[in-house]
Chains A and B, each alone.
Chain A
């Protein structure tokens, strides 16, 4: 019995640790590159509340299946796809993706732009979405966090 307890606590602890460590790694990417002069960093952050009324009736239909984004951050690199900066940047991103239980949602390529989308549910009302795109001239890394249910995403994708 005690063995079972030990194992389960160990699992819980490692899960907790892994989650906190992973939460840190996304932040680390932003921390690392936000002040970098080759990058442009945009942060649209918390502290905002929903004023759906501001949108008016036109968007009433979507409001029903729309959840809330708490935060959004963007890193934009204007560099060639094959440059060292780009490679280093995306290698960091791939590390984060592979070390955390992110699920791939989509991947698509068009007109020389290659985009991948990942998601990770942290808890019932918190989901991370990562979008990154590579092209010949400009690379983007976008992070969204908020109350986004996977089912709603699925509906939206199917739309």
Chain B
């Protein structure tokens, strides 16, 4: 009896370890200590509290649906980021079945890295829409960039580096199919 009281004193002081708390619980549950014994009731109540579980049977299915929907939304946003870019009609292939453990998406801000896919997508989305805005308005315009003119054949087909050679300047419209067909 004394031992238990000592343990209980320790308990109220917050000084018991888990093993001691288990001893108290076991002792109290076994004894017939009379009705309305405070300690017994308290421990019984706490024990019952520990057995509470989330009883909703559709919780897991709902969760799965939500997560898949989120993934879909993220993918859609990535998709939109890239499709309304005039320069990139591309789907960002994002998958639930990643083949490797590589970090998919992260943001580094003020030297701190955030491995947060949603944040990364949001920031990329914002940057893309701000950058693309002028292109949406003036999809048709093309201005030759000084010093970078060259033929429009892909670089791997060239047999020399692009030079700042004024003789090679083509001011043709980049939308000219023939240039692309050379590929």
Binding site for B on A (CB under 8 A): 11, 14-15, 18-19, 34-35, 37, 40-52, 54-56, 59, 62-63, 65-70, 72, 74, 76, 97-98, 100-111, 113-117, 119-123, 129, 131-133, 135, 138, 140, 142, 144, 146, 148, 150-159
CA distance A103 to B93 in the complex (A): 25
Which residues on B sit within 8 Å (CB–CB) of A105? 87, 174
Q: Which residue of A lies closest to B135 (CB)?
A: A108
**Pairwise interchain contact B92-A76, C-beta atoms closer than 8 A:** no
Our pick among A40, A45, A131 for the contact of B132 (Cβ within 8 Å) is A131
* Stretch in contact with the other chain, from B13-21, B36-44, B59-67, B143-151: B143-151
Which of A15, A42, A159 gathers most chain B CB within 10 Å? A42
B23 within 8 A of A: no
Which residues of chain B have C-beta atoms less than 8 A from A69's C-beta?
Answer: 82, 88, 90-93
Across the interface, name the chain B residue whose C-beta is closest to A65: B89
Contact of B123 with A40 in the complex, beta carbons under 8 Å:
yes
Within 8 Å by CB of A108, from B76, B104, B137, lies B137
Min CB gap B122→A, angstroms: 9
Instruction: Collect the chain A residues with CB atoms within 8 Å of residue B156's CB.
Output: 121-123
Once the chains are docked, how many angstroms separate the CA of A66 from the CA of B91?
6
Evaluate contact between B93 and A117: CB separation under 8 angstroms.
no
Closest Cβ of chain B: how far from A13's Cβ, in Å? 12
The CA-CA distance from A156 to B154 in the complex, in Å, is 18
Rounded to whole angstroms, the CA-CA distance of A63 and B95 in the bound complex is 16
Which residues of chain A have C-beta atoms less than 8 A from B78's C-beta? Answer: 44
- B51 interfacial by beta-carbon distance below 8 Å: no
Interface of B, helix, strand, loop or mixed by DSSP: loop
Give the bracket for the number of chain B residues in contact with chain A. Answer: 35 or more
Q: Which of A18, A117, A121 contacts B86 (CB 8 A)?
A: A117
Interchain Cβ contacts under 8 Å between A and B, 15 examples: A50-B93, A59-B79, A62-B89, A66-B83, A101-B158, A111-B134, A117-B87, A121-B155, A131-B131, A144-B88, A150-B180, A152-B89, A153-B87, A156-B87, A157-B175
Task: List, in ascending order, chain B residues with CB within 8 A of A101's CB.
Answer: 150, 155, 158, 161-162
Contact B108 A120 (CB under 8 A): no
Most buried by B among A14, A110, A123: A110
Contact with A along B94-127 (1 / 0, CB 8 A): 1111111111111111110000000011011001
Chain B residues with CB under 8 Å of A151's CB are 180, 183
> Is B3 part of the contact surface with A, judged by Cβ < 8 Å?
no
- Bound state CA distance, A97 and B39, in angstroms? 76
Contact A129 B88 (CB under 8 A): yes
A50 to B96, CA, bound (A): 9
- CB neighbours of A54 from chain B (8 A): 71-72, 75, 96
Partner of B175, one of A110, A122, A129, A158: A158
Known: A51-B93, A55-B91, A69-B90. A108 touches B175 (CB 8 A): no
Q: How far is the CB of B165 from chain A (nearest CB, A)?
A: 13
Contact check, B130 vs A42: say whether CB atoms are below 8 A apart. no
B-chain residues with CB within 8 Å of residue A62 when the two chains form the complex = 83, 89, 91
User: Quick one: which of B71, B76, B104, B145 contacts A47, CB cutoff 8 A?
Assistant: B104
Residues of A within 8 A of B28 (CB): none
